[in-house]
Amino acid sequence: MTCLTLGIAGCQGPQRPVPGVIVREDTITIEQLALRLGLGIEQRDDTFVVMKNAANTVIVFTHTDGRFFVNGKPMGNVGAVKQSADTVYVPATLVEQIRPLLRSAVPEQPTVKPQKTKGLVVIDAGHGAHDPGAISPGGIREKDINLRVAAKIANLLERRGVGVVMTRWQDRFIELEDRAAVANQRNADLFVSIHADSAPSSSAQGFTVYVATAASANAYRAAHAINQAMEKTGMDNRGIREADYRVLVQTNGPAVLIELGYLSNAQDAARLADDGFRDRMAQAIADGIQTYLR
């Protein structure tokens, strides 16, 4: 991880104050809508956008009161649409309208029943903006992988009834202290920071779940549940390790940091670049979190 080579204080970028972290927007861009739904943008032109994952196709007509289709059926109207240069804004409420209509992208794990779970989890997509984190030889940026996987986890948990707060929904820089503060302010049941690794040797591969050296029993329990669930993805399991990353140390409640895999390793990087595989990883992490919350 680029993070560890900088020392155990975490993957912090330059230090500068950033105002408020969480903004609940009334409108979001089409790109944010796709991200929040765990979908990729497959096709777009002036009149419509096609978003997909392994199990769903959503078509949104991008004019005011245009229709949206989920898996071939007209399901509603998009409401007010605003356009500014090439950016199209739609109501943020579309996320809640469309999400329940989506099919699960991967089969539910048999170990986790699709029943509702209570709790509040903060999902933290590591890095952002001028801080890209690790970069693969092919140019895949850690900050982008982190956000995509984090958004998928958030989406799955919300569908299962778990309260979720994301520290960022956009390509935005947030101080490590502010990330931890989100969990502290909300008194979250769990803080989960999502990262991807890098090492000088291209042979290093696999996922790692970190807790702080002075972590609570609950943090270990969460790490164990997530580690066990992630094992099913087929990624190499590097185990549960201790490191005093700043986001782990500054979080009052249970906190874990997941390194999804090594961007410096060809196989891991190919998997992390694959949206279907990211779905599987997100599903595993959501399963682990849900197991912990029970």
| Interacting residues with Zn ion (CB under 5 A) | 3, 11, 126, 133, 195
> Which residue of the chain is nearest Zn ion when measured via CB?
195
Residue with Cβ nearer Zn ion (3 or 78) = 3
Amino acid at 240: I
Please tell me whether residue 117 adopts helix, strand or coil conformation. Answer: coil
Residue with Cβ nearer Zn ion (245 or 277) = 245
How far apart are CB 216 and Zn ion at their closest, in Å? 23
93's tokens: 């409420």
How far apart are CB 204 and Zn ion at their closest, in Å? 15
Whole-number Å distance between alpha carbons of 127 and 14: 11
How far apart are CB 85 and Zn ion at their closest, in Å? 32
Question: In Å, what is the CA distance from 127 to each residue of 81, 143, 146, 173, 240?
Answer: 31, 5, 8, 7, 22
Residue with Cβ nearer Zn ion (3 or 180) = 3
How far apart are CB 17 and Zn ion at their closest, in Å? 21
Question: With DSSP H G I counted as helix, E B as strand and the rest as coil, what are the percentages for the chain, rounded to 5?
Answer: 30, 25, 40
Whole-number Å distance between alpha carbons of 231 and 238: 10
Short-list 161, 164, 165, CA closest to 117: 161
Whole-number Å distance between alpha carbons of 124 and 43: 29
Residue with Cβ nearer Zn ion (189 or 259) = 259
Residue with Cβ nearer Zn ion (259 or 287) = 259
How far apart are CB 142 and Zn ion at their closest, in Å? 5
Alpha-carbon torsion, ordered 202, 222, 36, 19, to 10 deg:
-90
Alpha-carbon torsion, ordered 237, 133, 188, 95, to 10 deg:
-100
Instruction: Answer yes or no: are the C-beta atoms of 168 and 125 closer than 8 Å.
Output: yes
Residue with Cβ nearer Zn ion (42 or 131) = 131
Residue with Cβ nearer Zn ion (147 or 164) = 147
How far apart are CB 40 and Zn ion at their closest, in Å? 23
How far apart are CB 280 and Zn ion at their closest, in Å? 21
- How distant is the alpha carbon of residue 118 from its chain centre? 19
Short-list 214, 287, 212, 204, CA closest to 257: 212
